[in-house]
A and B are shown apart, each in its own frame.
Chain A
Amino acid sequence: DSGVTQTPKHLITATGQRVTLRCSPRSGDLSVYWYQQSLDQGLQFLIQYYNGEERAKGNILERFSAQQFPDLHSELNLSSLELGDSALYFCASSPRDAANSPLHFGNGTRLTVT
């Protein structure tokens, strides 16, 4: 058990809808990372937060947004969903604001857009 909790485990929704994915990082970790995993694109870095502030942005679409709350949990909001947004979305956490420590991944949210 990595200590990172993601909810829900599965989401099935229709095109054009909006969903929110939730992540609770490992106790004591200040950084939260969001990744999208699909068969064709592999693991794509979306965004990172550190202690409530956005620190790095990757291949995140404008339709997607995220935030990290004072209790350090994070939410990823996906709107105007398209079929191509179907993927596994992972949250990972680490103690520091740098990629020189291991990331601890949750088990992901599987999003299916129909």
Chain B
Amino acid sequence: SQQGEEDPQALSIQEGENATMNCSYKTSINNLQWYRQNSGRGLVHLILIRSNEREKHSGRLRVTLDTSKKSSSLLITASRAADTASYFCATDGPGGGADGLTFGKGTHLIIQP
């Protein structure tokens, strides 16, 4: 089954810097979602971008989608210590997600104060 793959696996930056995470997937999608997970907690939905959209913003988050390259990026601007978490992309499929959302293995982001 298709799977999103995040890159890098881990990222450590200073507070105030921007953090960029990338996601690649294998087959066509209807939409792509990004989630955040704090250690040992449930995932929290951040943003959903549809296949006919190229960019979407939500607060300090900016997501881009390039369906020709089967890739997406998540940019967090002006990072804060509270942004420390793992970030996952999730994709559905041509069938509208009949096999559930497929998650990548995540990028572990550490924001150093």
Judged by a CB distance under 8 angstroms, whether A73 is at the interface is: no
Docked-complex contact A102 and B48, CB < 8 angstroms = yes
Distance in angstroms between the alpha carbons of A102 and B99 in the assembled complex:
15
**Which of chain B's residues has its CB closest to A41's CB?**
B105
Stretch at the interface among B38-46, B60-68, B72-80: B38-46
Q: How extensive is the interface on chain B, given as a class?
A: 20 to 34
Docked-complex contact A90 and B97, CB < 8 angstroms = no
Judged by a CB distance under 8 angstroms, whether B31 is at the interface is: yes
Also in contact, A99 and B101, with CB within 8 A (given A105-B43, A105-B44, A107-B42):
yes
Also in contact, A98 and B96, with CB within 8 A (given A4-B42, A105-B42, A105-B43):
yes
For A, the interface residue count at a CB cutoff of 8 angstroms equals: 26
Distance in angstroms between the alpha carbons of A110 and B39 in the assembled complex:
13
Task: Please report B residues at the A interface, Cβ cutoff 8 Å.
Answer: 1, 30-31, 33, 35, 40-45, 48, 50, 88, 90, 92-93, 96-106
